[in-house]
Structures are given as C-alpha cells and as structure tokens.
Structure 1
C-alpha cells in the first residue's frame, strides 16, 4: 500500500496546485511586492515565489533573475533548490552550495551561480506544499536569525494569499475533484464491485489497456477482460487471482510478474496492488492500482546481463592475473637460475685469474650479468607494483654509509666519462633512520645511473639532507636531490618520464639503452614511503630530481644496521655440517666454491628425496634448500625433515629463483631463512650468520 498512498498523495498535491490556477499565470502585484521587499530588506540579489509541479518550477514572482531565466519564468527541476523544500516540507538553508551535500551537484550552482539559499515551504490547507518562497545570493552567506524569521513571515503571507485562490476556485464538486485526482495519478487505477465488474477507471488505466475511452471497460468483468491468461497463454483461473482474493477475503495484496491483456490481444508485464473497499463493515468491491513494468524489466535484465558480463570479465582478468603470476614466477626461476651461475662463478673466477686481459674480459661478463639482472628486477618490480604486491620493509638505515657506497659504486663510471661525482650528506642527518634501505638505495641508484648516463660533461651530484619538525622531535623529513649538467629535458619529456616504458627524448643521444622503468618504479617506491618525487629540467643545461619523504622515524644509534663485513670468510663460523640441496649441478658447484676455503663439512643432494635421506643420516646444522625441484619440492622436504626427530634441529634456509612477493612471504613464514638467486657471497654470509655460531 505505500506506493498507492504515495501516488495518491502526490496526485492530491498536484490537484491542489492545479486548483489555485497560478501555474503559468500572469504576474501579480501582490506577489511581486513581497519578492521586491525581501530582496531590498535582506540585500539579496534574487527573491522568488516558486511553484513546483511534477516536471518544473514556475516563478509566480521573481526579483533579480538573469534576463533569459526571467523571460522563461521557470526552470526544469534539475535546476531547482525549491523541489527539496517541497519534497521534505521543511525549510532549506544553504550557506555554501558548493559544499552542501544536497545541492552541490545541482546545475544551478555552476550555470546560474546560486551559492546561498534560504527558502520556506508554501503550505496550504490539507498540508500540501505547493512550492517555496526563497531568497538567493551569489556569494557565501551566513543567514542570521532575524533574516530567517523575516523570510518565514513573508512565506506565511504568500501561503495565505494562495489559500484564498484555492477557496475561490474550490467550486469543483467532490466527484469531479476525485476524477481529477485519479487522472493525475501516473498509475492505472480501476475499481470493481464484489462480482468483479468495473465501476470506475482513470485515464491512465484506459491508455495502458489500449482502449479509446473508459466506456468499453465500465460494467465488464475485469478478470475475464484483462487478466484471463498467464503470460504463456495458459488459462488463469479467477479463484487463483490475487485481485479476486482481495474481494473475497478482504486481503490487501501486491503482485509483480503477472500480465494484463490489452484490447488488441497483446499483453504487458504489470505490478499491481489490490485493496478491498469496505463501507459500514460491508465489502462492496476493490480498487486496483497497476503500472506497466516493461521498461523496468528491460533495465533489470540489461543490468543483470551487464553484471554477468562484468563477472565474466572479472574472472577472465583474475585468470589472466594468475597466468601472469605463474609466467613471471617461471620466468624468474628460469632466468635467475643460469644468472646465479654466471654471476657467482664470475666472482669466484676473480680470485683465480691474474692476467690483465683475462680480468678485463671477466669484468665485461660481470658487468653484463649485472645489467641483465637489473633488467629482470625492473620488469618484476613493475609487475609487483601493478598488482599492488610490492611492500616496504622499514628498518635501521644509515644514509652516510649508503652515500659512501654509492659514491664508490659510481666513481669509476664517472671517471671513465670525465665527470665530477659529488656526494654530500648534511652534517645534521641522523645516523639511523627507519627506512626500507634497499628500496631507498634502489631509488638513488636509478637517479644517479640516469644522471651519469645522460651527462657527457660537467658533474653529477647527490645531496642528502633532513628537515626536523619542531613539533615531532622523534621524526624528520628526508630530502635528497640528484642533479646533473647533462642533456636536459623538454616540457613534453617531463610529462611522461614517470610513466612505464617512457623515456625522455634525450635518451636518443646516448648509446646506453634502458627499459624506461626506473623512474616509474622509483616514483612508486617514494609514494609507498609516503613521499613525493619531482623533476626540474632545462633542455641542454641539465636536470634535477628531488625526493621528499616526511615523518621518517629517527632511531637510536644502537639500532643502526650492522654493516656487511668487508672481508667474507666463512671460517668466521664454527665448523658445521651443511647440506646443500639443488637440482642444478652448477648451483651446487657454485655454493661448493663459496665454501671451498672453509673448514665446513658439505653434503650435496640433487632432489628432495635425497635431501631427506642425507638429513637423517648426517643431521646437518644448516640446510640450504632449493624450492623448485622435480619429485619432492623443497617445501615438502622441509616438512618431512622438520617432523623427523633425528634431524629436526637443523636450520633450513629457502633458496629460490622466484621473486614473487606472495611466495616470498609464504616461504619466510615456514623456513628459518630466505635467499634469492643469484646469491652473492656477502648475502650468503649475512644469512647464515643468523644461524651458525661465531668461532671463538
């Protein structure tokens, strides 16, 4: 029943408005004097007497409107604040429409400049709200109590004047008034007696059923005429009809999904409600209110199909994402495995080769291997960023040590190009900050590498400073800049350089090739750190990249990270039994080479099954366990070893060529340690230092 009541209530309001005879009427001095008075006393640019029907607002009186709107004497409801007064039956007070949730998207704000609004409902007998009396300003305005009271009083005068019009025009008799009311409703309405014969219809009912007038319906059995069959054409018995039950059992019912039949023999889906009519305790018939829901069903079907298509697209995207993850995991493993051998054996050979020419060749191999590894890391990092898998691991970070290592790392390249490399750390930079040192170093390496790549003369500089916040002494803002005197960039270059696979036009002037990913990855890392990276450049003069990361925690000096020892000697640890598990012979030989000069006892297994056997036989102190192997995987071998009483004391370090964050986090939870290929000697040293006791 709520829909029926709402429809009749709305129709009754419109009927009350209609009986005033004011819609589209001429201007009248009685109303104009009130709007002019309100505008003058309140110093408001605009005042209105606005009447609202079901599609527009009509200005019975207006003062101060723009010429075009004044000539039209109204606007669509899309441009109306007054409709909200009508809908709520309450005053609407708006100080700043731009920020007001109810009206901020109203076109009147952007197109007509309405900013402040004060309006009260024009209410007449019966409680119907016909419109509003309002004043409008084009600037932000705080309405005072006296101003609000004045507008409320003027609204009462307008309401009284309109009430007089209703009284004068209320010569329409009750029957005609009811007919007007029914015809104003947007739904079809018909009544019937206890036998089911039609007693009255409204114009919408006649139109929806396709009859020229109501005469062909009056006196006819409505079930037999319009409700005789289901949508599939099968018979619809009258005793099963909810409308019939409403008459017989005095039940109120609401039904959706059935059909009514038109005069031409076609049908349409309907939603209807039927209510019994009881007079002096006696059932005399029923009233039925119905609407054609064809368009609604089409919309619902279209929405359902769109949702189904979206779900299919989502499943395809998820499947593609899983396939991409599998591909990246496989690519990482397949490429990092040989890279482990290339880089690892290159470092081992460095200790054996003395011939200068051979060492130069070896340096080329080492440099090329590092470049290839950087390329792989960039592509995998970009994939992690795109899938939101990249995470930061903050910890103690010594920026002075980092700066020294960066200067050492890039000094040879700068010298080869005849460039000055300046690295400056401000004296007040704290010794230890809570940062993801590896990621911050990655950003600095990217920026310094680019600067050296695109500079042929002059200098490249890295400056690191901090800016303390007096309100938060335990935190600071990290600022570092990388500047150069290189080729520089154009305005167009600056717009695209932080996008993946985009490079500045100056890249064409150097023989060094990059992926175009470094700056995109750097920006993502800085943003994840809560900071911002920006670039300034003058073409032909040089560039400067600035990174600013606020609210970085200052750590105590004792919390500083332990530096990697300059000398890697695995005999620093007490002699231990170490089991090396890897299905790749070269990887086993590489680790054997790392431990060759030490006193540790090594055992080797080429698969998971053999690893379990050797672990039970030799009870190693430490196991370096490859993850992806044929047969029993490294994870499965770990579970077996961990559950075996004879060898469950061993510390097991996961060794993998995969770089997918999800897998890394899972492995770190179940293994004692984690190493990613290619493994450098110092990385191996740092990891096993967590588990093997130092030699006394």
Structure 2
C-alpha cells in the first residue's frame, strides 16, 4: 500500500509540472477508473459498446479540461487499468486493446480541438490588449508632440513676428538680407513642426479638413508673396499664373491648401539653382449646374529634376534625395509625404513629372464648391483704407507674444489695448463699461483661457456677446476641438502668426463689426 501511494504521489508531482494542471480533476479521473474497474466489470459482458464508452469517458473529460498534452501523461494509467479490467473479466486480448486505443485516439482529437480553441481565445485576448496598448501609445505620442509643438511655436511666434515687422521697416541692404534668412529659418521650423504633427495625425486618422468661404485668388497670391523673398535670395523668379475662369470665392480649407502649396513651392526653390518657379492654377472641369469647379494646381521649376527610380519614393515619409551638388538645404523628408496625404484628403492626387537636369512639375486637382463673396466689393479693405481707427483688445499671458501682436496690429492701423488674461478683460469691461471692435484671445492663459473667456462673454448682453472674437493658438487642433472652438470664436489664427493672415482676419472681423452696429455694438471708448 505504501509503494502504491508513493507511486501515485510521484505521478501527481510529475503531472503538476504540466502548465495549467490541477490535481482535483486528475484524482477524480483515477477514482472514476477505479470504480469502473471494481464495480462495473460485468458491464462489458452485458452492454458491450456502452461499457467501452463509459471506460473512456474519464479520459475524454480530461482531454476537454486539459488538452491533448495531459492525455500523454495519464493515458498509460488508463490503459493499464483498462487492461487489468479485461484481464480480471477474462475478456479477449483484442477487445482489451481495441477499446482503449480507439477511445484514446478520440480523446486526443477532442483534446487538440479544445486546446486550439483555448489558444484562439487567448490569442484574441492578447491581440485586443496589444491593440489597446498601441492605441494608448499613439494617443500619448500625439499628445506629447502636440505639447512639444505648443512649446516650440510660442517662442517661434515672437521671433517670426518681430522679424516680419523689421522687414517691413528695413530698406535693402545686408541687414534686410539677414532678416530674410531669419524669416526663412522660422518658416522652415514652423513647417517642420506642422509636418511632424500632421504625420502623427495621419497615422491615427484624425486629420480632417475645415471648410470655409475663402478667396482662392487671394490665397494663391498671398502664398507666392510669402515665398518671394526666399526666391529672390537665390536669384530665382517666382511667378503665379491664375486662370481667369477661377471664381473668386470657393469653399476650402485655407490652412491645408496653403500648406500643400507652400511645401511644393519651398521644395522647388530649394532644388533650383537658376531659372524660375511658377505656381499655376487653371480650370479643368466645370459641372453643368456651375455650382462646382475643378482646379488643377501645378508648381513648375527649372531645377535639378528627379530620376525615374526615385519618383515614386519621394512621397514616402522620411525619404530624401541628396544628389551630389544639390543646392538644397537639409530636410527630414516629410514635406512631400504630408502634401500627398493632404491632397488625398481634399479629393485629389499629387502627381510628379520630372526630367533630370531640366526640372519638375508637381500637380494635383481639387473640386471646390463655389461660394458667394458676401458683398466684398461694397466694403473696402480695413488695412488699405481703415477709415476710423478701430479698437482691438488682445489677451495673452506671454509678454513677448503680447508685444509682437500689439505691434503687428498697430502697424496695420489699429488701436490696441493689451491684457494678461481673460479675467483682466472681463474686469475691464465691468469697471469701464467699454467695448472694443474686435477681441483676440490666446487659447491658454493663466487665470482664464480664451475658451472660458469667450463662454463668459457670450452670456453677457448683446453689446458684449456680439463682439467679433478671434482665437490665437499654438496648437494643431483636432477636428472635434476645432469645432468646439469655432462655436465660440469667429476665426482661428495659428502661431507662428503671419502678418498677412492677421490683416485678412481683421478685415473679416471689421466687416462683421460694421454689420453688427444695428444690433447695439459700440465702438471703442
């Protein structure tokens, strides 16, 4: 009895080494087989095949419970017991072997099936956990890059703004040339930050368009004007050719279309030694109802060109061509990749035609919905003809940005009142019963940010709630957050701020303020 107990204990010790093994079901199996051997011997003689089923039922249960590996560990015990049972009952040898072998095979199949099922469930669970971890990692990465971009764009805004102001005041000479280089460097850094953020948002499929009624002709001219000083530094001619059939106003995402064209133009200037770079826009298709117009944009240069084997790869992220003697500056290879993605987002496809040594043409087409200009001809530009001096209140907790924004507005002919945060704006309104023509609020400020300030202003009387409000932010807003911001602000401007974009935003806000006079909007005091 002692020897048998020790043998049984050793079996349990070895079995416990099997992953997922539990002693209770195993002991239950042994008890079942023992009971069958002792009490059900005559069943083989009386009920034949049913008895075989009962004999292998215990092993089948183990197969379902543990999988096929446990069969290899315990089946010899079952086989020995079964043979002893047949020997005690004086059953034929063939019958003693056939039953357990056939039953064991069935149990192995059942065990394999159950194990593969458990593996599938386990793999599915692990996959779900991995996908959740990946999504969390991408979300953290996106939030980190957004925070980093905010911290970079905030000081960059001050550098870029003061540079633009100095360029407006500086005559030709070495000092102006140095300012152009500074301006170019800030543009490059700002573009790099935007491209990195857009690449991350493209991977998470959170990149979206924000359509508004804009002057397409003005956008094209402004984009070329922005790059003209950079082309002049290299002795290049930068031109624009606009089809006269293009309507003045269409529905578009101004920031994204400008981003694509700027990437293509700056890339063309970078890799062109001599000659010219030309932005062309022409109508390629009109719908019969004339509510839509398809425009093809092309950026043509006389640069070094791109070899055929590189032409597909140039749209891949981080792909760079660095031919010997290239006049281009260093880059990380994101501009064309982001441009191609944004073109696809706008319903087009960025294409390339290039001949090495002769130049390249990047082109894409976008279908726009025509829009009304809102009586633009009836209202003169507030920048070119400002009329009475308009009051603008600005709020920002960053002193450098507050100063540069104020000086930009003053250079455009506005009277500026500066505040450290939104709470100061509200306190000033309460104390002085004063109202500006336009407010420009930074998104994030100490005591009260722009969104909270706008919500408080909206709850006030019509003379306060109807004041045009512009949000200034260093963030690249997600579509959901941008929709939320636009419900509280009339316009959104992004840092680093371009003075021409500011002038256009002020034009629209002054037009809105003029239209609000009959609703009780007062001027500055």
Normalising by structure 2, what TM-score?
0.69
Q: CA deviation at 1:437?
A: 4.3
Q: In 2, distance between residues paired with 1:646 and 1:567? A: 24
Q: CA deviation at 1:523?
A: 1.0
| Cross-structure match for 1:649 | 465
**Map of 1:336-351 to 2, 5 A cutoff?**
336-350=153-167
| Cross-structure match for 2:55 | 225
Q: CA deviation at 1:681?
A: 3.8
Q: In 1, distance between residues paired with 2:373 and 2:489? A: 28
1:102-151 CA-partner distances (Å, limit 9, x unpaired): xxxxxxxxxxxxxxxxxxxxxxxxxxxxxxxxxxxxxxxxxxxxxxxxxx
| Cross-structure match for 1:683 | 501
| Cross-structure match for 1:530 | 347
**Map of 1:497-576 to 2, 5 A cutoff?**
497-506=314-323, 509-549=326-366, 551-553=367-369, 555=370, 558=373, 568=383, 572=387, 575-576=390-391
Q: In 2, distance between residues paired with 1:325 and 1:562? A: 43
Matched, 1:666 2:487: no
Do the aligned residues in 1 keep the contact of 2:379 with 2:511 (CA within 8 Å)?
A: no
1:284-335 CA-partner distances (Å, limit 9, x unpaired): xxxxxx9753222212221222122112212211221221222122112211
Q: In 1, distance between residues paired with 2:287 and 2:492? A: 41
Q: Cα distance 1:422–1:647, how it changes in 2: closer, same or farther (>3 A)? A: closer
1:382-440 CA-partner distances (Å, limit 9, x unpaired): 22322222222344555544444455444555455444545433454444444434433
Q: In 2, distance between residues paired with 1:608 and 1:470? A: 48
1:44-96 CA-partner distances (Å, limit 9, x unpaired): xxxxxxxxxxxxxxxxxxxxxxxxxxxxxxxxxxxxxxxxxxxxxxxxxxxxx
Q: CA deviation at 1:690?
A: 5.7
Matched, 1:490 2:307: yes
Q: In 2, distance between residues paired with 1:470 and 1:693? A: 36
Q: CA deviation at 1:584?
A: 1.2
More helix by share: 2
Q: In 1, distance between residues paired with 2:116 and 2:371? A: 64
Do the aligned residues in 1 keep the contact of 2:270 with 2:328 (CA within 8 Å)?
A: no
Larger RCO, structure (CA 8 Å, separation 6 or more): 2
Matched, 1:580 2:401: no
Q: CA deviation at 1:502?
A: 1.0
| Cross-structure match for 2:419 | 604
Q: In 1, distance between residues paired with 2:221 and 2:465? A: 40
Q: Cα distance 1:530–1:354, how it changes in 2: closer, same or farther (>3 A)? A: closer
Matched, 1:479 2:317: no
For residue 513 of structure 2, give the secondary structure of its aligned residue in structure 1: coil
Q: Cα distance 1:216–1:308, how it changes in 2: closer, same or farther (>3 A)? A: farther
| Cross-structure match for 2:430 | 616
What stretches of structure 1 of length at least 5 have no aligned partner?
Answer: 1-194, 200-213, 234-255, 268-289
Q: Cα distance 1:451–1:561, how it changes in 2: closer, same or farther (>3 A)? A: farther
Q: In 2, distance between residues paired with 1:295 and 1:323? A: 41
Q: In 2, distance between residues paired with 1:338 and 1:415? A: 27
Do the aligned residues in 1 keep the contact of 2:60 with 2:110 (CA within 8 Å)?
A: no
Q: CA deviation at 1:625?
A: 2.7
Do the aligned residues in 1 keep the contact of 2:474 with 2:494 (CA within 8 Å)?
A: yes
Q: Cα distance 1:640–1:504, how it changes in 2: closer, same or farther (>3 A)? A: same
Q: In 1, distance between residues paired with 2:152 and 2:199? A: 17
Give the alignment partner of residue 442 of structure 2, picking from 596, 605, 626. 626
**Map of 1:203-218 to 2, 5 A cutoff?**
218=48
Do the aligned residues in 2 keep the contact of 1:397 with 1:560 (CA within 8 Å)?
A: no
Do the aligned residues in 2 keep the contact of 1:340 with 1:678 (CA within 8 Å)?
A: yes
Q: In 1, distance between residues paired with 2:335 and 2:378? A: 26
| Cross-structure match for 1:591 | 405
Q: Cα distance 1:624–1:457, how it changes in 2: closer, same or farther (>3 A)? A: closer
Q: CA deviation at 1:498?
A: 0.4
Do the aligned residues in 2 keep the contact of 1:198 with 1:219 (CA within 8 Å)?
A: no
Q: In 2, distance between residues paired with 1:609 and 1:422? A: 47
1:485-538 CA-partner distances (Å, limit 9, x unpaired): 321222221121001111224386124223322211121122112222221222
Q: In 1, distance between residues paired with 2:361 and 2:407? A: 44
Q: Cα distance 1:506–1:608, how it changes in 2: closer, same or farther (>3 A)? A: same
Do the aligned residues in 2 keep the contact of 1:463 with 1:480 (CA within 8 Å)?
A: yes
Q: Cα distance 1:569–1:604, how it changes in 2: closer, same or farther (>3 A)? A: farther
Q: CA deviation at 1:573?
A: 6.0
Q: In 1, distance between residues paired with 2:431 and 2:385? A: 24
Do the aligned residues in 2 keep the contact of 1:616 with 1:646 (CA within 8 Å)?
A: no
Q: CA deviation at 1:569?
A: 7.0
Matched, 1:445 2:230: no
Q: In 1, distance between residues paired with 2:456 and 2:328? A: 53
For the aligned residue pairs, the C-alpha RMSD in angstroms reads: 4.4
| Cross-structure match for 2:28 | none
What stretches of structure 2 of length at least 5 have no aligned partner?
Answer: 1-38, 80-105, 518-522
For residue 670 of structure 1, give the secondary structure of its aligned residue in structure 2: coil
Do the aligned residues in 1 keep the contact of 2:440 with 2:472 (CA within 8 Å)?
A: yes
| Cross-structure match for 2:451 | 635
Do the aligned residues in 1 keep the contact of 2:180 with 2:230 (CA within 8 Å)?
A: no
Do the aligned residues in 1 keep the contact of 2:294 with 2:368 (CA within 8 Å)?
A: yes
Q: In 2, distance between residues paired with 1:354 and 1:414? A: 18
Q: In 2, distance between residues paired with 1:361 and 1:416? A: 10
Do the aligned residues in 2 keep the contact of 1:432 with 1:560 (CA within 8 Å)?
A: no
Q: In 2, distance between residues paired with 1:476 and 1:327? A: 40
**Map of 1:365-404 to 2, 5 A cutoff?**
365-396=182-213, 398-404=215-221
Normalising by structure 1, what TM-score?
0.54
Q: Cα distance 1:449–1:306, how it changes in 2: closer, same or farther (>3 A)? A: same
Q: Cα distance 1:559–1:391, how it changes in 2: closer, same or farther (>3 A)? A: farther
Give the alignment partner of residue 464 of structure 1, picking from 281, 300, 316. 281
Question: How many residues are matched?
Answer: 441
Do the aligned residues in 2 keep the contact of 1:523 with 1:532 (CA within 8 Å)?
A: yes
